[in-house]
Amino acid sequence: MSTPTYADTSFLVSLYVQDAHSERAAAMAAKLMPVFFTPLVEHELRNAIRLCVFRRQITSGQREKSIYELERDASEGFLYPVPLDWPKAFKHTEVLGRAFTESIGVRGMDILHVGSALALKAKQFATFDDRQASLATSAGLELV
């Protein structure tokens, strides 16, 4: 298996909830396989899908379909479940925060995703967040 890609929540939500980036995310998905699926990503993705119901972007029925599809993708290997070495991720996160927060303006969760990608030794990073993309590139990750 090739090294999985790290995809942040902005990218993954677009795969499971119809939005402005969904068409692009779907076109890219096959090229990214497999995608790291850490407990952090799983929690944030499930919660982001639920938040779409609160924002009235989708119905509760559509939420159930989205959750079913992500569970299917995890069982079929598109989403690659892995544990996260939290101390290693936070070590990368602190280095990244010191180096880039004041110049790029990235938020803590964005830094944590990039730090997690580095801890997992990902080579590629997928996001639709411009600041996070800038951080990932600065950290040596290839954007897809």
**Per-residue confidence (pLDDT) for residue 30, from 0 to 100:** 80
3-state secondary structure (DSSP) of residue 104 = helix
Measured distance CA(98)–CA(60) in Å, rounded: 40
Q: Which residues pair with 79 in a beta bridge?
A: 35
- Is there a contact between 127 and 7 (Cβ–Cβ < 8 Å)? yes
Q: Which two tokens stand for residue 109?
A: 């969760």
- Condensed to tens digits (0 to 9), the pLDDT of residues 39-51 reads 999 999 999 999 9
To the nearest 10°, the Cα dihedral for 142, 78, 24, 96?
A: -30
CB-based contacts of 104, cutoff 8 Å, min separation 6 = 131, 134, 135, 138
- Report the pLDDT value the prediction gives residue 31, as an integer from 0 to 100: 84
How confident is the model at residue 33, as a pLDDT?
Answer: 83
Distance CA 144, CA 130 (A): 13
The string of pLDDT tens digits covering residues 78-131 is: 999 999 999 999 999 999 999 999 999 999 999 999 999 999 999 999 999 999
Q: What average pLDDT is seen over the chain?
A: 95
* Residue 1 pLDDT grade (very low, low, confident, very high; cuts 50, 70, 90): low
Instruction: Summarize pLDDT for 3-53 with one digit per residue, the tens.
Output: 899 999 999 999 999 999 999 999 998 888 899 999 999 999 999 999 999
pTM: 0.92
- CA dist 60 and 124 (Å) reads 33
Q: Helix, strand or coil for residue 141?
A: coil
